Amino acid sequence: SQAFFAEVRKRVNDGLTCLLVTHDLPAAESLCDRVIIVNREIKKEMTFSNTRVCSTGPLFAAWKEVLTE
């Protein structure tokens, strides 16, 4: 999976738009500049800067919030 994520990062750095569907929240935070949480409908949309260092903070918190609705 690391090779896959490295390839996604390379393509994004080359200016391509990638749609990534994953349950791997740390990977989503480190690879994506925009995240949409869907549970039958769009529940939350978040944006991240491209230079952000991966953390399990804001996306995990938003995901937990959606689950408790």
- Mind listing the pLDDT tens digit for each residue in 10-48? 988 898 888 888 888 888 888 888 888 888 898 888 887
63 touches 25 (CB < 8 A): yes
Q: What is the pLDDT of residue 54?
A: 46
Instruction: Give the separation between CA 7 and CA 67, rounded to whole angstroms.
Output: 31
Torsion 46-38-25-57 (CA) sign: positive
Q: What is the pLDDT of residue 9?
A: 86
Torsion 57-60-64-69 (CA) sign: positive
